[in-house]
Amino acid sequence: MPGSSQTLADRLAMMGTVARSPAARTDGWDGPAFEVRRNRRDAGEFFGREQPHPSDASALFLDTETTGLAGGTGTTPFLVGLAFVAGGEVVTEQYFLRRLSGEAAMLGALRERLTAVETLVTFNGRRFDWPILEARGIINRTPLEAPPEHHDLIGAARRLWHRPLGTYRLSAIERHALGIDRVDDVDAAQIPGLYLDYLRTGDAESLEPVFEHNRQDVLCLLHLRRKVRRWVEDGVDPPQPVDWEGLGVLRLQTAAATLDGDTASRALIGDAEAVLRRALEAEDDPAARWRIASRLAPLLRRTERWQELLALWEHAGVRGSWRVRTLIEVAKVQQWRLKQPARAAAALEEAMTVAEWLAATGNPIAPALEDQVRARLVRLLQAAAPRGRLRRGR
Amino acid sequence: MTLEQILTALRTDPAWARNITAWHLVPERPGRYEPIPDDVDGRLASALRGAGIEQLYTHQAQSFEIARSGRHLVVVTPTASGKTLCYNLPVLNALLSAPQTRALYLFPTKALSMDQVDELQTLVRALKADIKAATYDGDTPGAARRAIRTAGHVVVTNPDMLHAAILPHHTKWLRLFENLRYVVVDELHTYRGVFGSHVANVLRRLRRICRFYGSAPQVIFTSATIGNPKELAERLLEEEVALVDDNGAPSGPKVIAFYNPPVINRELGIRRDALSEAGRLAGEFIRNRIPLIAFARSRRACELLTARFQSVAAGHQIPPERIAGYRAGYLPSERRAIEKGLRDGSVLAVAATNALELGIDIGRLQAALLVGYPGTVASTWQQAGRAGRTQDLSAAILTATSDPLDQYIVRHPEYFFGQSPEAGLVNPDNVYILTSHVRCAAFELPIESGERFGPRTLPEVLDYLEKQRIVHREDDRWHYVADAYPAQDVSLRSASTENVVIIDTTDPAPRVVGEVDLASAPGLVHEDAIYLHLGQQYHVDRLEWEERKAYVHRVDVDYYTTAQIAVDIRVLTEFAPGRPHTGMVCGGPAHGEVVVTYRPTIFKKLTLERHENVGWGPIHLPESTLHTTAYWLALPILPVPQHELQGLLIGLSHSLAHVAALFLMCDPRDLGRTYEVHSPHADRPTVFLYDAFPGGVGFAERLYRMHHQVLSAARDLIAACPCDSGCPSCVGPVLEVGSTGKALALEVLDARLIPDARR
């Protein structure tokens, strides 16, 4: 523009305070733009008394450190931590971007490492690590192909620890469930900033805690997966408390996934039932008791254990509207399975009494629920009445 | 009575006729047609014939030819002229010949996208081809999103979604970007000012991503009436765009009339209320069962009009369900039902806000009532175009309010009916807007040094972003390294995303009752202010400025508050002075960069009834500054007392700001105004008009260039106003400009400013 005495830079400077930062270094970098740090440990030593799970041999454990946690295309994985079991050793490989320009080469190496892998094992990798790697693959014209299976441990972690620990972050699980206590661990929120400082100064020293953090994370996945598989798939109960309901659900899911109904999966369903009962016993909250009983009921129905089913519902409901709901279930078992219409009617009458009492104390149950009780009771009484009378009634 | 008889009555009955300031007949236009071109796919041609389209309007055929030739184009034809076919035809034709082809449609609002998808799908069904068209916006369910990303042939969305959800995740949209052949940008005229400047940058980012995936889409713009369609499209796209503006669609004869409610208080320049006058006019149409749409400028006015229509209907045995209101805030299903009712005739009259102005199909209405000037010539034609989609006679009547813009328009119909001087202005290189989008672009793909973003390269912006630790330079590339998702912080629609939240603490559980933007907050929610929201008064107990929170409680008092804000303006750079400053009698116009400082000083308590001052208090708030561009006009040194000079400057800035908004096609609030009795920069009394957006969007330079027109229009506005010595419709209330303000303003304009500008 004519007469403009200010440069664009001047005007930009007016937009905000410029943060003080170390001077950028763009020269003097030697060596490749990406490097691999490899570490080996004897598997026996690593796993202690227990042996690695046989399927670990075809699994690749992965955890990335990134320039941001927001996701989207502009988040760069600057450190990809991998672990695998090979030749009696636990190997960790850390692909590190010494410079951002090494990304395509790094992704190329990762692509190669992924070729023989059957299962990718991550913690929240479905939502975070893998989509970022996939996006960066496209941007760097080095597209990655996902291994046939992706075992994201976060699902199991949530089921097993969210309720007892109030969180299912990897670090909390590691401490409480795996008994590993890290010293001097870097705060995950600071990692992007540390890497940016490194990019500007070339001083990799301050990144050492990040490398260690990442190595610990990915090794933790090996332990976690082995434990989760023992507890879920092998039906061994964990020594320390977990969410027993969650464990039961995980076991049922695994049994359903095998589909063949073989002895092993039948045994696993039995193991699931055991921990679900354990969960029900320990539970006070009526809504949770209802939920757990609803998970147990199909197992008893499938094996036609009607008396046990009756007992389950009789004891599941403790108070309030949940008591009404469980009494309806009691009535169903009595009427259809045990052929005891009178006892079914008695259960429904009790449900009506509970409903009336709740209404009188200012906590009426949902009208739809009350209607359901009434309708069932009416049908039951009509079925019990002599036919002739009913006809005349019309 | 028929419409013709009603119109005759309006023109001949003196009670109406003396308030009618313009009666303009747009003659009937026969349609001009061309056969469906031979290179239109046979399936498509027969689907069109199946829908009753045997031949194309000339502008549709012309658009198809240009699109086929590979050029970008902009189609500018009135409402209901078959504009959508101008882009659907080339897009569907391309899809039929190459099924992997993709197209992206951008509409400014969600409602429009829905309407368009419905229309497109009707055509696709007739084609019996596997073409999937779907809207992708905030309402699209998660499961559908994945399918649309990979398999949607035509993705219909809005610029905001493109900016915040699609471009930042472009790798998930691989299929779309690799095969993107057409981008359709509908309602081009809405992309102006700050919003348009943002959208221009979103288009830069879109085309940058396309280049990465090896596609180079053609862009088809469509627009309602606008002064500079080709220029605006080219400014948004930064490439040559072919213009199609020769409308071949037929239209019936149409009367456009301006109605100025009678003056009831000459001294204060007060006219009869436009809403009630419009209600009376509407009564004439409703009782004669003439299908009618009325446009109000606010939601509240829309509600009041609906109520009036209801009572008219009740008096004439018309069932209430034949009357409807239509505005933002209604549920989508409610809106759909009203649109359908209008199309099938079950709804007789609708009172709407401009939510219905854009191209939603509502069928054929015979009359349109515009309650208040919609603000731009383009909107006026758009709203008037809602009546008369048939071959028959139709009418559009504009009822003026006392606003200066309204008064100028109805008293100068020749301005309205003459060549439209309104132009859509954008400034994609506004440093704030540009920098925001460079951040977003770097997030999407590393920026190569020497890479062009728009017409130029970006070394300074990238240096700035590097210092902010947002990007990192390595060799010849700039990589995004910040730990944040940048599109989240950039809103395309408003200048600032910051607001002050208003929290009502009357009840035990505090409740958010509303919010005001940061710029208005010092004047509205300072401590001890009375804040009005939906008719309820609130007393502001505490304003937590840093936290952006105002704590209020409900009150019922008989006064309101008004804040005095001292505005200081300092010129940083003068880009283009009219003539040399020194030694001249008259300063003349100039434009350049300024810093505006707002400092709230005191507030006054005024009674609700008589506006009497019953108290005051100080306001303790930090001052705020705005770095922007301004147009200013230095006056000659006049031999008048100080207070008269002040009245003159207030009057001039008031009238200039309002006519400037007219020429700039912007909201008057987008333009700040102030004056200096003695400007240190110009060494003269000076009036300033400035862009109320950091960095400016080009208003100042435009005003400088149309300086003469703006002055003449301001003069005409003041001269034609029947008030004695000032009213809100011309120079501002007499209480502010004093008894001599109006006369002096006219005199200075006539004797000095306009003759000088002509030289």
pLDDT tens-place string over residues B717-738: 898 888 888 877 788 877 788 8
**pLDDT greater at residue B456 or residue A15:** B456
Compute how many other C-beta atoms are within 10 angstroms of the C-beta atom of residue A364.
14
Determine the Cα–Cα distance for residues A378 and B671; give it in Å rounded to an integer.
74
Residues of chain A above pLDDT 70, percent: 88
Q: Are B375 and B404 in contact (CB under 8 A)?
A: no
The total domain count for chain A is: 2
Tell me what pLDDT residue B339 has.
82
Q: How far apart are CA B230 and CA B76, in angstroms?
A: 9
- CA dihedral A351→A356→A359→A360, nearest 10 degrees, is -140
Residue of A nearest to B479 (CA): A100
A contact test, residue of B145, B171, B208 with most A CBs within 10 A? B171
Separation CA B268–CA B317 (nearest Å): 40
SS3 call for A32: coil
Interface test with B, best of A7, A15, A106, A201 (most B CBs within 10 A): A15
CATH topology for B13-27+252-417?
Answer: Rossmann fold (3.40.50)
Q: What pLDDT score does B636 carry? A: 86
Contacts of A196 in chain B (CB under 8 A): 469, 472, 481
**Minimum distance, in Å, between the CA of residue A132 and any CA atom of chain B:** 10
* Residue A71, pLDDT above cutoff 70: yes
Q: For residue A320, is pLDDT > 90?
A: no
In whole angstroms, give the CA distance from residue B418 to residue B227. Answer: 11
8 A C-beta contact, residue A79 and residue A98: no
Provide the shortest C-alpha distance from residue A131 to chain B (in Å): 9
Mean of pLDDT values over B576-586: 47
Report residue A8's pLDDT band, with 50, 70 and 90 as the boundaries. Answer: low
Q: Is residue A160 part of a domain?
A: yes
| Alpha helix ranges (H) inside B468-613 | 521-524
Q: Across residues A333-353, what is the average pLDDT?
A: 93
What is the rounded radius of gyration, in angstroms, for the C-alpha atoms of chain A? 30
In chain B, pLDDT over 70 holds for what percent of residues? 93
Best mutation target, A5, A8, A98, to test chain B (most B CBs within 10 A): A8
Q: What does the CA dihedral B61, B63, B65, B69 come to, rounded to 10 degrees? A: -170
Which residue of B169, B442, B468 is in closest CB contact with A72? B169
Residues B406 and B421: their CA atoms lie apart, in Å, by 17
A274 inside domain? no
- The answer to whether residue A357 sits within a structural domain is yes
Q: Is B292 helix (H, G, I), strand (E, B) or coil?
A: strand
d(C-alpha B739, C-alpha B741), whole Å: 6
Q: How many whole angstroms from its chain centre is CA B241? A: 23
Maximum mean pLDDT: which of B72-76, B316-320, B628-632: B72-76
The per-residue pLDDT for A116 is 85
Distance CA B661, CA A129 (A): 51
Distance from C-alpha of B308 to C-alpha of B555, rounded to nearest angstrom: 30
Could you tell me if A197 and A68 lie in one domain?
yes
**Do A226 and A316 reside in the same domain of the chain?**
no
- Is A131 part of any domain? yes
- Please compute the mean of the pLDDT values over residues A148-168 and round it to a whole number: 92
Whether B83 shows a pLDDT value over 90: the answer reads no
Asked if the domains at B13-27+252-417 and B33-244 fall in one CATH topology, the answer is yes
Q: State the Cα–Cα distance between residues A92 and A39, nearest whole angstrom.
A: 5
Rounded to whole angstroms, the Cα distance separating B603 from B614 reads 11
Rounded alpha-carbon distances, angstroms, from residue A167 to A161, A171, A184: 7, 10, 21
Helix (H) or strand (E) holding B104: strand B102-106
For the ranges A158-162, B60-64, B393-397, B405-409, the lowest mean pLDDT is seen at B405-409
Confidence of residue A23 (pLDDT cuts 50, 70, 90): very low
**Beta bridge pairs of residue B294:** B351, B369
pLDDT bin (cut points 50, 70, 90) of residue B180 is very high
Asked, for residue A65, whether it belongs to a domain, the answer is yes
Q: How far is CA B119 from the centre of its chain?
A: 26
Q: Which of residues 177-236 of A touch B (CB under 8 A)?
A: 192-193, 195-196, 199-200
Is B476's pLDDT higher than 60? Answer: yes
Shortest distance between the Cα of A40 and any Cα of chain B, in A, equals 32
- DSSP string computed for B377-409: HHHHHHHHTTB--SSS-EEEEEEP-SSHHHHHH
In-domain check, residue A210? yes
B28 token code pair = 């009937």
Interchain contact B592–A (C-beta under 8 A): yes
* Number of A–B residue contacts, CB under 8 Å: 115
The DSSP-derived string for B133-154 is EEE-STTS-HHHHHHHHHH-SE
pLDDT digits (tens, 9 = 90+) for B99-125: 999 999 999 877 677 777 888 888 899
Given CB atoms, is B470 within the 8 Å cutoff of chain A? no
Q: What are phi and psi of B607, to 5 degrees?
A: -70, 145
Residues 6+ apart with CB under 8 A from A354: A323, A324, A327
Claim to verify: residue A217 and residue A317 sit in the same structural domain: no
Is B146 within 8 Å of chain A by CB? no
Distance (Å, rounded) from C-alpha A298 to C-alpha B657?
A: 75
Contacts from B550-557 at CB under 8 Å and sequence distance 24+? B550/B500, B550/B501, B550/B502, B550/B503, B550/B521, B550/B525, B551/B503, B551/B505, B551/B510, B552/B502, B552/B503, B552/B504, B552/B505, B552/B513, B552/B525, B553/B504, B553/B505, B553/B506, B554/B504, B554/B506, B555/B530, B557/B530
pTM: 0.79
Task: Tell me the CA distances in angstroms from A30 to A26, A33, A112, A202, B703, one per residue in order.
Answer: 11, 8, 25, 11, 57
DSSP conformation letters of B204-267 = HHHHHHHHHHT---EEEEEESS-S-HHHHHHHHHSS-EEEE------B--EEEEEE-PPEEETT
Q: Which range marks the domain in which residue A380 is found?
A: 305-386
Structure tokens at B656: 């200039």
Helix (H) or strand (E) holding B29: none
- Helices A341-360 and A367-384 meet at what angle, rounded to 10? 150
For the stretch B430-448, pLDDT in tens is 878 888 899 999 999 999 9
Distance CA B117, CA B135 (A): 7
Cα B207 from Cα B437, distance rounded (Å): 13
Contacts of A325 (CB under 8 A, 6+ apart): A290, A317, A369
Place of tokens 């075809």: A58
With a cut of 50, say whether residue A5 has pLDDT above it: no
CA pair distance B523, B490, nearest whole angstrom: 25
Measure the CA–CA gap between B165 and B492, rounded to whole angstroms. 13
Rounded mean pLDDT of A192-205? Answer: 91
Contact between chains at B168 and A134 (C-beta distance less than 8 A)? no
Look at residues A232, A264, A297 and tell me which one is the last residue of a structural domain. A232
Can you give the pLDDT at residue A2?
Answer: 40
Tell me if B385 sits within 8 A of B355, measured CB to CB. Answer: no
Q: Give dist(CA B26, CA B255) in Å, integer.
A: 6
Report the C-alpha gap between A93 and A191 in whole angstroms.
19
For residues B613-634, give the mean pLDDT. Answer: 87
Chain A residues within 8 A of B467 when measuring between CB atoms: 18-19, 21
Assigned domain for A223 exists: yes
CB B737 within 8 A of CB B647: yes
Check if A259 contacts B (Cβ < 8 Å). no
Please state, rounded to an integer, the average pLDDT across all residues of chain A: 86
| Residue A151 falls inside a structural domain | yes
CA-nearest of B714, B710, B735, B666 to B404 is B714
Mean pLDDT of B144-163: 93
CA distance linking residue B481 with residue B478, whole number of Å: 9
Residue of chain B whose alpha carbon sits nearest to that of A27: B475
A51 in reach of chain B (CB within 8 A): no
Domains of chain B, by residue range, sit at 13-27+252-417, 33-244, 431-489, 501-557, 563-758
Tokens of B441: 């672009």
Above pLDDT 90, what percent of chain B?
A: 40
Highest-scoring range by mean pLDDT, A55-59, A86-90, A97-101, B576-580: A97-101
Q: Which CATH number do you get for residue A65?
A: 3.30.420.10
The yes-or-no verdict on residue A25 having pLDDT over 50 is: no
Among A23-37, A182-196, A259-273, B733-747, the range scoring the smallest mean pLDDT is: A23-37
Across the interface, whether the CB atoms of B481 and A12 are under 8 A apart is answered no
Check whether B404 has a pLDDT greater than 90.
no
Instruction: For residues B759 and B755, give the distance between their C-alpha atoms in angstroms, rounded to a whole number.
Output: 7
Note whether A11 contacts B: Cβ–Cβ < 8 A: yes
Quote the minimal CA–CA distance from B99 to chain A in Å.
Answer: 23
pLDDT digits (tens, 9 = 90+) for B643-689: 999 999 999 999 998 888 877 877 767 788 999 998 888 888 999 99
Q: Looking at the predicted structure, is the pLDDT value of residue A392 above 70?
A: no
**Lookup result for tokens 């009245």:** B647
Fold of B33-244: Rossmann fold (3.40.50)
CA-wise closest residue to B426 among B703, B696, B76:
B696
Q: Please determine, for residue B759, whether its predicted confidence score (pLDDT) is greater than 90.
A: no
3-class DSSP state of A167? coil
The encoded tokens of residue B624 equal 């705020």
Mean pLDDT of chain B: 86
Least confident piece of the model among A16-30, A252-266, B408-422: A16-30
Nearest CA in chain B to A189: B483
Chain B residue numbers with beta carbons less than 8 Å from the beta carbon of A134 are 171
| 3-class DSSP state of B365 | strand
Nearest by CB to B575, from A4, A14, A100: name it.
A4
Residue B330 has pLDDT above 80, yes or no: no
pLDDT at B610: 64
A26 shares contact with chain B (CB less than 8 Å): yes
Q: What is the pLDDT of residue A16?
A: 46
Average pLDDT over residues B223-247: 90
Q: Pick from A12, A71, A193: which is nearest to B435 by CB? A: A12
Sequence-ordered list of residues with C-beta below 8 angstroms from that of B185, at least 6 positions apart, any chain: B106, B191, B203, B219, B220, B221, B222, B236
**Is the CB of residue A7 less than 8 Å away from at least one CB of chain B?**
yes
Q: What H or E segment, with its residue span, contains residue B633?
A: strand B624-634
Question: Is A227 in the same domain as A317?
Answer: no
Q: What is the pLDDT of residues A102-152, one digit of tens each?
A: 999 999 999 999 998 999 999 999 999 999 999 999 999 999 999 999 999
Contact B481 A26 (CB under 8 A): no
pLDDT at res. A391: 45
Rounded CA gap, B623 and B519, in Å?
Answer: 11
Closest CA to B271 of B259, B282, B280, B263: B263
Residue in A closest to B471 by C-alpha: A196
Largest distance between two CA atoms of chain A? 107
Find out whether A207 and A195 touch, Cβ atoms under 8 Å: yes
